[in-house]
């Protein structure tokens, strides 16, 4: 997402924060954030109490967009299996982008290591929502243990995302989708 001159200082800060934190990590300094957003430090601190609050707000702001990217285009008519496969297909497609750095929510959790940090709370909620989605779909698809299957799918998603984001693994061969499909088969999902 590109920032525009017409965007409010708050919006420009949140957009710059999302972009820089994703590209460079959460250790990006306030000066770099403000410079990228075209906003003074004074203005930033009038809008946010801290860099931590801004990071949490930027993650929260992007969550709906992120979840939409992983939702099947024909969600109402898709089967639970197709909905889950779609998440992994999108992961594989996204990972082919040279700018791909993995799941932004997982990256924040790994970098911060503080479960009480405001951004960690938002990131954990996003990951919990994804696991709940997998559990719901697994249950609707007749899996013998929807919660167990959801946990396995999260391991595959997060592991594939992290490895692809670190440019260790290429997912263009369907590895993540194939693994998720094998898990759904083994879990008794229709």
pLDDT one-digit tens code per residue, 23-70: 999 999 999 999 999 999 999 999 999 999 999 999 999 999 999 889
At 1, the pLDDT band (50, 70, 90 cuts) reads very low
Instruction: Tell me the whole-structure pTM to 2 decimals.
Output: 0.90
- What does the pLDDT look like over 84-143, one tens digit per residue? 999 999 999 999 999 999 999 999 999 999 999 999 999 999 999 999 999 999 999 999
DSSP 90-137: HHHHHHTSTT--S-HHHHHHHHH--TTSHHHHHHHHHHHHHHHHHHHH
Separation CA 27–CA 175 (nearest Å): 32
pLDDT in the model for residue 72: 86
pLDDT in the model for residue 136: 97
User: Candidates 3.40.930.10, 3.40.50.9100, 1.10.1200.10, 1.10.357.10; correct CATH number of 70-186?
Assistant: 1.10.357.10
Q: Which two tokens stand for residue 124?
A: 């954990």
Give Cα separations from 185 to 41, 92, 108 (angstroms): 53, 20, 32
- Which CATH architecture is the domain 7-51 placed in? Orthogonal Bundle (1.10)
Ordered by start, the domain boundaries in the chain are 7-51, 70-186
Q: What is the mean pLDDT of residues 5-13?
A: 87
Q: Which two tokens stand for residue 186?
A: 């083994």
């Amino acid at each position: 997402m590109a920032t525009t001159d017409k965007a409010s200082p708050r919006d420009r800060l949140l957009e710059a924060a999302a972009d820089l934190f994703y590209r460079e990590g959460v250790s990006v300094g306030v000066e770099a954030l403000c410079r990228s957003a075209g906003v003074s430090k004074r203005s930033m601190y009038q809008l946010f109490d801290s860099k931590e609050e801004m990071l949490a707000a930027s993650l929260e702001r992007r969550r709906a967009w992120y979840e939409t990217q992983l939702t099947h285009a024909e969600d109402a008519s898709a089967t639970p299996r197709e909905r889950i496969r779609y998440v992994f297909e999108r992961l594989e497609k996204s990972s082919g982008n040279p700018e791909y750095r993995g799941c932004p929510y997982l990256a924040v959790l790994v970098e911060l290591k503080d479960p009480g940090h405001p951004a960690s709370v938002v990131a954990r909620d996003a990951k919990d929502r994804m696991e709940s989605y997998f559990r719901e779909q697994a249950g609707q698809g007749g899996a013998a243990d929807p919660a167990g299957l959801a946990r396995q799918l999260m391991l595959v998603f997060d592991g594939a995302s992290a490895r692809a984001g670190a440019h260790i693994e290429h997912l263009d061969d369907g590895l993540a989708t194939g693994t998720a499909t094998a898990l759904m088969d083994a879990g008794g999902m229709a």
